[in-house]
Amino acid sequence: MIKRILIANRGEIAVRILRACREMAISSIALFTPIDKNGLWVSMADEAYEIESYLNLEAIIKIAKEIKADAIHPGYGFLSERSNFPQRCQEEKIIFIGPSSDAIRHAGDKIEARRIAIREKIPVLPGTSPLSTFQEAEKESKSLDYPFLIKAAAGGGGRGMRIIRSFEELKQNFESASREAASSFGDGRLYLEKYLEEPRHIEIQVLADSHGNAVYFPERECSIQRRYQKLIEESPSPFVNDSLRQALGKSALTLVKATGYTNAGTVEFIVDQTGRFYFLEMNARLQVEHPVTEMVTGLDLVKAQIKIASGEKLAWKQEEIKSRGWAFEARINGEDPYRDFLPSPGKITALQFPEGPGVRIDSALYAGYTVPETYDSLIAKIIVHAENRGDAILRMHRALTELHIGGLPTTTPFLLNIFHHAEFQKGNLSTHFLNQHLPELLPPFTEEEVAIAEVIATLEQIRTFVSLPQNRWAVAGRLNNIKEVHEAHHKN
């Protein structure tokens, strides 16, 4: 059994892994950069070591060897999907808590994963082989009808992705997309793929051990996205029925078997309004949204990852994976919705997380912590669980209204407006939901709201307020001072 785990990550996912280690009586070792020296995960860990960058693979391996760590957990982001990470761990006889380097190469490379899906007769959208130059893209684009997507071959998360509706847009976007892909994944190759106008984004969580056993979990609906970044996830999907769920699960396990995949992963699909689905990509790591699966199944995916990496067999058979109730996850980002979602790093002057039945918080925030501008703007996740979707929406609404993060603007009021929206409540979702409804989700300030904001800005110890219609007061109330409120008012 693994006894010492080095966590090669930061923020809320580092805290999440640390907690699993504590419950399994495993020693946890944290890493931190100079800007992260006051991170919550640093103080929570049994040991912590400074590192120049979370992308410095050799430095991470060196520390792991020096402190005699049994295993490394990569979390998500950073080096988690680099195939040379598990390879270097294997060379140094360190357990990598994730798939093998071969599996990452097969499943994590989008082109290779598409090729395997086609071979296994899993539906995919029309697309191209890897492209390194605009000249190649120009030639290959003639085989596709507009619109189509430019996508990074080596990674996901929206990095390097662009919607292309004309030749001029292809010409304008190819080089910048390639640079973004190279910066994010160390690989600037792109490919083109047919674009569906209003699909749903549905994904299947899988677990596979090294003994040939694999299971899939109830689907997650991840259609609420902004710039290809997920904001809200739920399980189950309000659209997926039993037959579609089984078809998606079967396709996901087919890919697991075909790629020799082990540990936790996610197979992502897009689904059109008729229920036809197409393989999108496979993420060879733990997902940000894994808590919604944990909430509806009662199972701990991080502990399962550690056990699989230790050589244990899966603890469950497919028929034992049951879904109970409904779960949502809302990602709280340090961004100002009224300034085009501009990142808002800064010091947390006050903090109140929601509590009560069916509410879970994954975060590394605390009062006095300074959110750095260096990393991703995700600062907390609120996850709720209830008996049905309607009750889960009400519970999330309650949780978001109880949340108070002082000192910087967040996306909390924007998320509240999404959960309040009639079409969202009906389950009428697509990846274009935000684009279609943004004016309703970010209405301009009224004179009354500006006046209210001026009063609120003078009260230093306000924690909770009575909601005005659509909770638009929260946007104004959480701005830092009167001057900012006036600027936002005049802008809108």
Would you say 222 and 200 are in contact if contact means Cβ atoms under 8 Å apart?
no
Q: Are residues 369 and 480 in the same domain?
A: yes
Within a domain: 107: no
Q: Are residues 146 and 34 in the same domain?
A: no
Indicate whether 302 pLDDT > 50: yes
Which pair of tokens denotes residue 473? 């007061």
Taking the C-alpha atoms of residue 360 and residue 70, their distance in angstroms, rounded to an integer, is 30
Q: Are residues 276 and 223 in the same domain?
A: yes
Q: Please report, rounded to a whole number, the percentage of residues in the chain having pLDDT higher than 90.
A: 75
Within a domain: 316: yes
Enumerate the β-bridge partners of residue 150.
162, 192
What is the model's pLDDT at position 264?
98
Domain boundary among 49, 78, 97: 97
In this structure, what CATH number is given to the domain that contains residue 189? 3.30.1490.20
Q: Are residues 293 and 418 in the same domain?
A: no
Indicate whether 482 pLDDT > 70: no
What is the model's pLDDT at position 471?
44
pLDDT in tens, 195-251: 888 899 999 999 999 999 999 999 999 999 998 899 999 999 999 999 999 999 999
Structural domain tally of the chain? 4
Within a domain: 57: yes
Please enumerate in sequence order all residues whose Cβ is within 8 A of that of 468, keeping only pairs 6 or more positions apart, or say none.
Answer: 449, 452
Of 109-123, 146-160, 273-287, minimum mean pLDDT range? 146-160
Among the ranges 139-143, 274-278, 458-462, which has the highest mean pLDDT value? 274-278
Would you say 365 and 379 are in contact if contact means Cβ atoms under 8 Å apart?
yes
In this structure, what CATH number is given to the domain that contains residue 43? 3.40.50.20
Taking the C-alpha atoms of residue 202 and residue 278, their distance in angstroms, rounded to an integer, is 10
More confident residue, 339 or 355: 355
Indicate whether 475 pLDDT > 80: no
What is the model's pLDDT at position 450?
66
What is the model's pLDDT at position 187?
87
Which pair of tokens denotes residue 18? 């640390």
* 423 alpha carbon, distance to own chain's centre: 23
What is the model's pLDDT at position 11?
98
Q: Are residues 393 and 470 in the same domain?
A: yes
In this structure, what CATH number is given to the domain that contains residue 296? 3.30.470.20
Q: Are residues 138 and 68 in the same domain?
A: no
The position carrying tokens 């001072």 is 481
Taking the C-alpha atoms of residue 203 and residue 230, their distance in angstroms, rounded to an integer, is 12
Q: Active site includes 245? A: no
Q: E-strand spans in 55-111?
A: 71-73, 95-96
pLDDT in tens, 26-52: 999 999 999 999 999 999 999 999 999
Q: Are residues 217 and 278 in the same domain?
A: yes
pLDDT in tens, 67-91: 999 999 999 999 998 999 999 999 9
pLDDT band for position 490 (50/70/90)? low
Of 30-34, 136-140, 431-435, 484-488, minimum mean pLDDT range? 484-488
- Catalytic residue (choose from 162, 285, 331, 478): 285
Within a domain: 113: no
Which pair of tokens denotes residue 436? 């279609």
Within a domain: 119: no
Q: Are residues 245 and 374 in the same domain?
A: no
Q: Please report, rounded to a whole number, the percentage of residues in the chain having pLDDT higher than 70.
A: 91
The position carrying tokens 């003994």 is 211
* 140 alpha carbon, distance to own chain's centre: 31
Domain that holds residue 71: 4-97
Within a domain: 114: no
Would you say 75 and 263 are in contact if contact means Cβ atoms under 8 Å apart?
no
The position carrying tokens 């005005």 is 468
What is the model's pLDDT at position 457?
58
Within a domain: 278: yes
Q: Are residues 174 and 210 in the same domain?
A: no
Query: If you ran DSSP here, which 8-state letter would residue 108 be given?
Result: I
Which amino acid, one-letter code, is at 218? P
Average pLDDT, the chain: 90
Measured over the CA atoms of residue 7, residue 12, residue 13 and residue 18, the dihedral's sign is positive
Domain boundary among 272, 292, 320: 320
Q: Are residues 130 and 204 in the same domain?
A: no
Please enumerate in sequence order all residues whose Cβ is within 8 A of that of 247, keeping only pairs 6 or more positions apart, or say none.
Answer: 277
Burial class (CB in 10 A: 0-12, 13-18, 19+), 455: exposed
Q: Are residues 475 and 331 in the same domain?
A: yes
Q: Are residues 173 and 282 in the same domain?
A: no
Averaged pLDDT for residues 392-412: 96
Please count the other Cβ atoms lying within 10 Å of the Cβ belonging to residue 463. Answer: 11
Averaged pLDDT for residues 143-171: 86
Averaged pLDDT for residues 252-271: 96
Query: If you ran DSSP here, which 8-state letter would residue 127 be given?
Result: B
Which pair of tokens denotes residue 139? 């030639």
What DSSP letter does each residue of 193-229 carry, written as one string?
A: EE--SS-EEEEEEEEE-TTS-EEE---EEEEEEETTE
Taking the C-alpha atoms of residue 23 and residue 21, their distance in angstroms, rounded to an integer, is 5
Indicate whether 478 pLDDT > 80: no
What is the model's pLDDT at position 338?
87
Indicate whether 470 pLDDT > 80: no
What is the model's pLDDT at position 464?
42
What is the model's pLDDT at position 64?
98
Which amino acid, one-letter code, is at 252? A
Taking the C-alpha atoms of residue 65 and residue 75, their distance in angstroms, rounded to an integer, is 19
Measured over the CA atoms of residue 425, residue 426, residue 431 and residue 437, the dihedral's sign is negative
Domain boundary among 48, 76, 97: 97
Please count the other Cβ atoms lying within 10 Å of the Cβ belonging to residue 490. Answer: 9
Averaged pLDDT for residues 144-168: 85
Within a domain: 259: yes
SS3 381: strand
More confident residue, 254 or 447: 254
